[in-house]
Amino acid sequence: MESALRAKASSPKPDKSPVSAANASDANAASTAAASPGADSGPSAAGAQLIDAFIDELWSVHGLADNTLGAYRTDLYQLDAFINARGATLIEVDTLLLRDYLEHRVKLGMAKTSSARMLSSLRRFYRHLLTCGVKADDPTATLESPKLPRQLPGSLSEAEVERLLAEPNCDDPIECRDKAMLELLYATGLRVSELVALSMSELSLRQGLVRIVGKGGKERLVPMGEVAQDALESYFKNARQALLTQGATDVVFPSSRGQQMTRQTFWHRIKLYALRANIGTELSPHTLRHAFATHLLNHGADLRVVQLLLGHSSLSTTQIYTHVARTRLAELHTKHHPRG
Cβ atoms of residues 152 and 24 within 8 Å:
no
For 209-244, letters b (16+ CB in 10 Å) and e give ebebebbeeeebebebeeebbebbeebbeebbeebe
DSSP structure class, residue 209 = E
Q: What is d(CA 73, CA 54) in angstroms, rounded to the nearest whole number?
A: 9
Cβ atoms of residues 230 and 238 within 8 Å:
no
* Known catalytic membership, residue 186: no
* Known catalytic membership, residue 312: yes
3-state helix vs strand vs coil in the chain, percent to 5:
60, 5, 35
Cβ atoms of residues 195 and 206 within 8 Å:
no
* Known catalytic membership, residue 321: yes
Query: Which one is catalytic: 6, 104, 124, 215?
Result: 215
Please enumerate in sequence order all residues whose Cβ is within 8 A of that of 239, keeping only pairs 6 or more positions apart, or say none: 170, 173, 174, 176, 177
Query: Which one is catalytic: 73, 105, 177, 191?
Result: 191
Sign of the Cα torsion 57, 58, 64, 68 reads negative
Query: Which one is catalytic: 177, 179, 240, 312?
Result: 312
Query: Which one is catalytic: 8, 269, 289, 290?
Result: 289
- Residue from 172, 184, 178, 189 nearest 254 by CA: 178
Query: Which one is catalytic: 8, 269, 286, 295?
Result: 286
| E strands in the chain | 203-204, 209-213, 219-223
Q: What is d(CA 275, CA 156) in angstroms, rounded to the nearest whole number?
A: 14
For 175-194, letters b (16+ CB in 10 Å) and e give bbbbbbbbbbbbbbbbbbbb
Q: 132: burial class by Cβ within 10 Å (0-12, 13-18, 19+)?
A: middle
Catalytic machinery residues = 191, 215, 286, 289, 312, 321
